[in-house]
Amino acid sequence: MLTERKLSKRLYNQLLFTGPTLLAFTCVILVPFVYGIYMTFFKWDGISSSMPFIGLDNYQAVLQDKKFWASVWLTIKYVAASVLIINVLGFALAYLVTSGIRGQNFFRASFFSPNLIGGLVLGFIWQFIFHIFLPSVGESTGWSIFEKTWLGDETKAFWALVIVTVWQYAGYMMVIFIAGLMSVPKDVLEAARIDGASGFRQIRHMILPLMVPSFIVTVFLSLQRSFMVYDVNYALTGGGPFGSTVMASMHVYDKAFQRFDYGVGQAEAFVLFFIVATITITQVYMTKKLEVEA
Amino acid sequence: MKKLSWLTLVLVFMLVLSACGGNSSKNNEGNANSGASSSGSQNSQSKGGGSEKVKITILNSKAEIHNQMTEAAQLFMSANPDIEVEVISTTQDQSPVERASALYASGTPATLTMLDTGDIEKFADKALDLSNEKWVADLAQPFLVDGKTISFPFAVEGYGLIYNKEVLDKVSGGSFDPASINTTAKLEALFQKIEQAGIVPLYIGSMDWSLGNHFLAIAYATQPDTDVKGFIEVLKQGKADLVNNPSFNGLLDTFDVMKRYNGGKDDPMAVNYEQSTAMVAKGEAAMTFNGNWLITELLKSNPEGEYGFVPVPISNNEGDHANSSVAVDATKQFFLDAEKSTPAQQEAAKKFLNWLVYEAEGQDFQVNKANVIPAFKNINLELNNSLAIAINQYNLSGKSIEFAGNFVPGDHWKVLGASMQKYLADKADRATLAAEIEDYWKSMQ
């Protein structure tokens, strides 16, 4: 660096390495993002050649769109439930498959495999399970909980979504947790064991604090993915029954591409982006503070 | 070394830039192509010494008939050697409007564009007036935008209560006549009779698109004093007063009857497309509410079955036109581009449309190759399945109401389909349903 005193040379060197990425980033992220915001100030149906400027009317419409806020609230409930269960279950699975039980590699692979199936396929598979398989189980066993299809009831359809999401991501988070568990120093744990700390105390006071970096990643990933969920929502419930499981992304998509109201759809997408960005940044900032050194 | 890295940098930038500017390079390609084809046509001219070839393009949005459409174009070309037809098709899940507007945006629209009927109006300012064409007089149902015919209807479809002929013949002890069911009370009597025979009267498929855009839309199409577009305006202005609207109430009275005899009434939301179809095909249920496209699914379960349509009655008045009519309309329409195409191209495209209606080969393509129900009275070819024959009869005899789902906004099926599902599952009463419908339309302004 010391040898590169000339500004032009320094700039050239920086551009050589970051330029291509920067350009790609500008083309596929920045420009569409800015253009998207620009579009929120216009009324456009996606076809018409006229695109009148209407100022902040679209944002006004977003504030008044009760269905949008209902879908955001539903999404928040869904995110809370899925993030909690995904992380608890992911950690439990990781602890289980690193504790030295027999065939743990097989379990690792099989817990991870749901994540390799795309959300759409997953949705259709589980739709079959909830729609056909479980009711027939209910019929033969008489368990009233499975008597009717879960996808025909608002609350159960919501939990069906959570279950499928957890099933999809718990294995993925497990892999991250396994890496975290491996990096917990053995000497600390050994010292704790010699001091007579029980298994639970070890987890609570040694392992969990040392695994905060893993939790930052897993909570961030599960937060962001469940906030933006569309594929599972689309394939499993399609927003039904009675439009009760329309998540925010689906509402935005429908607004823009079913109703051909691009302006309002874009404005809602931007509001959603703002909410998600705020929540995830706060989460990363807050959990960073919990990090400790061994 | 230094030079080399500069070169790499420049190369990388060029690569990225060209990736970003994909459109412009594509346009160049298009120009090159059109240059090539024009030089090609010059060649043929010098060879044949005849008149110059006119080239037209057809944008087909029924992806499943792309091959048949290309074959038809070949036949048309051999009958008209001076015209060259190119067929392009949208993919199965691409919206035709999206493709058409992309073609317009790049300045290369197709000469003939096939769109869903409800989308034709959006392109009205780009379409040629076809009111003076010969085939307009042979249309079974006129389709007008601002009083003009600007599109050529293709693929008629219709819906109503589909019945299994064998089952109803057995129940009624003879040949069942669908025209005998022309009031809600008679429909209920028929359901009772079927139930007494130990057969499930009907299954109501809980699909939102079916309930919202097909069933509910019957209420828009059966207003005594206005057509669908007129009634939608009334709805948008919030003046519809659905709770006191006779057609709406009559339709829902029928729906209540259907709900009572629904084979899936214990868990109505579990009845899906496949199940309702299979039940009717196997004869375990007598009827279901759906359209003539169901025939492929029906024939899967029972290749021998014969089916027909009973209209959905909206009153107990036998004379009501709607009580003896099913909803029928062309679901696809061609419009002829007036913006970019030359008069010669327009003439060629008109010729193609006439060929479809009046030439044996064109008729054969519509009915036997593409398996669509033609929209024209002069085509007498035997259709190849019972539901198509039934729809065609309703259409030709004028016993039809508008296919109102063609004129509603794109999210209607989902939003109001959900409201109808609530009503189906007894989670909402009629007043709630009416209020939700009115709210939806008021938000449309």
Angle at Cα B251 formed by Cα B312 and Cα A150, nearest 5°? 95
| Band (B23; pLDDT cuts 50, 70, 90) | very low
Contact criterion met (CB below 8 Å) for B286 and B164: yes
List of chain B residues whose C-beta atoms are within 8 Å of the C-beta of residue A16: 5, 8-9
Whether A131 maps to a domain, the answer reads yes
Nearest residue on chain A to B9, alpha-carbon basis: A16
A 238-257 near B (Cβ less than 8 A): 238-244, 254-255, 257
Q: Tell me if B411 and A255 make a contact (CB, 8 A cut-off).
A: yes
Placement of tokens 């990933």 in the chain: A221
Say if residues B92 and B73 touch (Cβ distance below 8 Å). no
Q: What is the ipTM of this complex?
A: 0.73
Containing domain of residue B306, as a range? 158-328+405-442
Which of B360, B352, B406 lies closest to B110, judged by CA?
Answer: B352
Please name the residues in contact with B414: beta carbons below 8 A apart, sequence gap of 6 or more.
A239, A243, A254, A258, B208, B209, B212
| A138 interface with B at CB cutoff 8 Å | no
**pLDDT of the residue at A3:** 56
Judge: A27–B19 Cβ closer than 8 Å, yes or no. yes
Instruction: Tell me if A233 is assigned to some domain.
Output: yes
- Check A48 against B20: CB less than 8 A apart: no
For chain B, say whether A23 makes contact (Cβ under 8 Å).
yes
Interatomic CA distance for residues A154 and A145, integer angstroms: 14
d(CA A62, CA A42): 14
Q: Using one digit for the tens of pLDDT, what is the confidence trace for B290-306? A: 998 888 888 888 888 89
- Residue/partner pairs of A246-250 with CB below 8 Å, 24 or more apart: A246/A67, A246/A71, A246/A74, A247/A71, A247/A74, A247/A75, A247/A78, A248/A68, A248/A71, A248/A72, A248/A74, A248/A75, A248/A272, A249/A75, A250/A71
The residues, any chain, with a CB within 8 Å of residue B287's CB and separated by 6 or more, are: B161, B162, B163, B164, B194, B201, B202, B203, B280, B310
Mutate to test the interface with B, among A58, A63, A259, A262 (most CBs of B within 10 A): A259
Is B283 contained in some domain?
yes
What three-state secondary structure class fits B182? coil
Q: How far is CA B242 from CA A138, A271, B364, in A?
A: 41, 35, 45
Q: Are residues B285 and B221 in contact, defined by beta-carbon separation less than 8 angstroms?
A: no
CB contact under 8 A, B409 and A259: yes
CATH number of the domain where residue B196 is located: 3.40.190.10
Distance separating alpha carbons of residues A62 and B351, to the nearest angstrom: 49
The CA distance from A76 to the nearest CA of chain B, in Å, is 22
From the number of C-beta atoms within 10 Å of its C-beta (0-12, 13-18, 19+), residue B174 rates as: exposed
- Output the tens digit of pLDDT for each of chain A's 294 residues: 455 568 888 888 888 889 899 999 999 999 999 998 998 998 887 666 678 888 888 999 899 888 899 999 999 999 999 999 999 999 999 988 888 888 888 888 888 988 888 888 888 899 889 888 888 888 888 888 887 888 888 889 999 999 999 999 999 999 999 999 888 888 888 888 888 888 888 888 888 888 888 999 999 999 988 998 999 998 888 887 888 899 999 999 888 877 878 889 999 999 999 999 999 999 988 888 888 775
Q: Report yes or no: A148 at the B interface, CB cutoff 8 Å.
A: yes
In a domain, B124, yes or no: no
Residue A190 lies in a domain: yes
Structural domain count, chain B: 1
Residues spanned by the domain of A163: 65-288
**pLDDT score for B225:** 84
Q: How many domains are contained in chain A? A: 1
Q: What percent of chain B has pLDDT over 70?
A: 88
A162 SS3 class: helix
Nearest to B5 among A16, A45, A258 (CB): A16
CA torsion sign for A257, A258, A264, A270 is negative
Cis peptide before A241 (omega within 30 of 0): yes
CA atoms lying within 13 Å on the CB side of residue B358: 12
The domain that holds A216 is classified in CATH as 1.10.3720.10
What is the mean predicted confidence (pLDDT) over B400-405? 88
pLDDT tens-digit series, residues B32-81:
333 333 333 333 333 344 467 899 999 998 887 888 899 999 999 999 99
State the pLDDT at residue B87: 92
Task: State residue A239 phi and psi, 5-degree precision.
Answer: 90, -10
| Distance from C-alpha of B318 to C-alpha of B325, rounded to nearest angstrom | 12
Contact indicator for A184, A272 with CB cutoff of 8 Å: no
Distances (CA, A) of B409 to A71, B158, B440: 21, 19, 10
- Look at residue B228 and tell me if it is in a domain: yes
What's the confidence (pLDDT) of residue A45? 75
Q: Which amino acid is at B434?
A: A
